[in-house]
């Protein structure tokens, strides 16, 4: 079963807002057994919307649209759909009552444009929107399902989960789709592909392997799909697919080895937090060139306080000395960006902050500040625990933000490998 998502709005195309709706909908559709064939964004233009609908109907069984259902003149989706289906309009009384109740609740005057929210194409099934005034609309035409939803995220999410997905399950026989994600770090995409080439070639046609690279990280995603046949239940088919994927996943994990940090779809820092919590270890950080970025990555996760005690952003040499206890002689003889300094920073973080392990980073993020001896992109990273400390030099590029992100991922990877060997 194939679907296409169409998001409508000039604000998306000019970059004024980020289209998070389509990513969220694609996830929900995939979980329900619907494969998303394509995601398209178009402007608030009737011709563009109509052409997008025509093309989508040639590719997919289900077309889901968001946006353009508000009461203002630039919201033209409803009129465009009526023209596309050569349909007139009807007033939906349940929607009108919903609109009146919303305006009454907030003690606001009900205008004609608000009342017109209840006017919908006569060939649609109304999906009552209890979180807003614009109803969702379901069209069943020529064997295709078209769904139009509001662009406001919480309204769209409610309608998708409570109305659209249940209706799709009634209308179509869905495949069962199962995913398994393997999180790797410290190994490049091409090297990984070469390592597991024979495993990938042995995959049956209903199992696919995708490489999802990011700075310093590659996610390997195994996906399997199958129809529900021979009177099997969804749960039975799901288990069969999960067992198949699990067998191939185990082969990949055995082959890739130390590069694997989690067998679930989570971030590297979350995988590290989970491991440290399980091992009953606490963490602190000492950051210079990353400027608190590592701490931000860690603390964005609920429950991080079970592991993370805190950190120090010691940008200046003075703070490296006063906060972390880095020796003046070390800074004078070797400089802030050196093996000796980051080792003392990491050990100082454990001593001053009382953690079991630590990360320290010092480098030249750029775009200036480099020298002939230490160019832009030079970063020293150290990790430490009660078992000792190690440091490593990295040479990144000349892009400041990329250097910060690469340093953070490299530091997390280093610590993960270090504590995994120690515990």
Model confidence over 124-164: pLDDT tens digits? 999 999 999 999 999 999 999 999 999 999 999 999 999 99
Buried b (16+ CB within 10 A) or exposed e, 118-138: bbbbebbebbebebbbbbbbb
d(CA 294, CA 223): 31
pLDDT of residue 234: 85
Query: Is the predicted pLDDT of residue 196 greater than 70, yes or no?
Result: yes
- Position 75 scores a pLDDT of 82
Query: Which pLDDT score, from 0 to 100, does residue 70 have?
Result: 85
Q: What was the pLDDT predicted at 174?
A: 84
Is the pLDDT at 218 greater than 80? The verdict is yes
Q: Is the pLDDT of residue 229 over 90?
A: no
**pLDDT band for position 423 (cuts 50, 70, 90):** low
Q: 228: pLDDT confidence band, cut at 50, 70 and 90?
A: confident
Domains and CATH numbers, the chain: 2-171 (3.40.980.10), 176-262 (3.30.70.2860), 275-422 (3.90.950.20)
Tens digits of residue pLDDT in 70-113: 888 778 999 999 999 999 999 999 999 999 999 988 888 988 88
Q: How far is residue 37 from each of residues 34, 57, 147, 169, 315, measured CA to CA in Å? A: 9, 11, 16, 18, 48
Q: Where on the phi/psi map is residue 26: left (φ > 0), alpha (ψ -120 to 50), or beta? A: alpha
Mean pLDDT of 197-205: 97
Q: Give percent of the chain above pLDDT 90.
A: 86
């Amino acid at each position: 079963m194939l679907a296409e998502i169409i998001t409508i709005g000039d604000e998306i195309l000019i970059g004024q807002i980020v289209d998070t709706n389509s990513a969220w909908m694609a996830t929900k559709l995939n979980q329900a057994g619907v494969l998303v064939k394509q995601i398209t964004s178009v402007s608030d233009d009737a011709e563009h919307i109509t052409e997008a609908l025509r093309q989508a109907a040639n590719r997919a069984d289900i077309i889901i649209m968001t946006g353009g259902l508000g009461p203002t003149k630039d919201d033209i989706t409803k009129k465009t759909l009526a023209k596309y289906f050569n349909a007139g309009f009807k007033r939906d009384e349940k929607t009108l009552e919903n609109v009146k109740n919303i305006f009454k609740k907030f003690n606001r005057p009900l205008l004609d444009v608000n009342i017109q929210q209840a006017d919908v194409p006569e060939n649609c099934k109304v999906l009552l929107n209890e979180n807003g005034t614009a109803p969702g609309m379901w069209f069943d035409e020529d064997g295709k399902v078209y769904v139009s939803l509001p662009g406001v995220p919480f309204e769209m999410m409610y309608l998708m989960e409570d109305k659209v997905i249940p209706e799709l399950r009634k209308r179509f026989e869905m495949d069962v789709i199962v995913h398994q994600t393997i999180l790797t770090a410290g190994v490049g995409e091409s090297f990984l592909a070469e390592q597991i080439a024979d495993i990938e070639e042995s995959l049956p046609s209903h199992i696919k392997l995708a490489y999802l690279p990011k700075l310093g990280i590659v996610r390997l995603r195994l996906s399997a799909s199958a129809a529900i046949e021979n009177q099997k239940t969804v749960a039975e088919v799901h288990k069969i697919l999960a067992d198949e994927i699990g067998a191939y996943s185990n082969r990949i994990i055995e082959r890739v080895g130390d590069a694997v940090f989690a067998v679930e779809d989570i971030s590297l820092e979350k995988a590290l937090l989970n491991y440290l919590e399980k091992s009953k270890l606490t963490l602190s950080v000492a950051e210079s060139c990353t400027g608190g970025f590592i701490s931000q990555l860690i603390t964005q996760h609920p429950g991080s306080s079970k592991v993370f005690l805190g950190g120090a952003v010691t940008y200046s040499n003075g703070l490296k000395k006063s906060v972390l206890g880095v020796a003046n002689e070390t800074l004078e003889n070797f400089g802030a960006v050196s093996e000796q300094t980051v080792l003392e920073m990491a050990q100082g973080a454990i001593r001053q902050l009382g953690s079991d392990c630590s990360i320290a980073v010092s480098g030249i993020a750029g775009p200036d500040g480099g020298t002939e001896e230490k160019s832009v992109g030079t970063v020293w990273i150290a990790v430490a625990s009660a078992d000792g400390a190690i440091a490593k030099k990295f040479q990144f590029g000349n892009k400041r933000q990329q250097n910060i992100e690469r340093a953070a991922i490299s530091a997390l990877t280093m610590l993960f490998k270090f504590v995994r060997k120690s515990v």
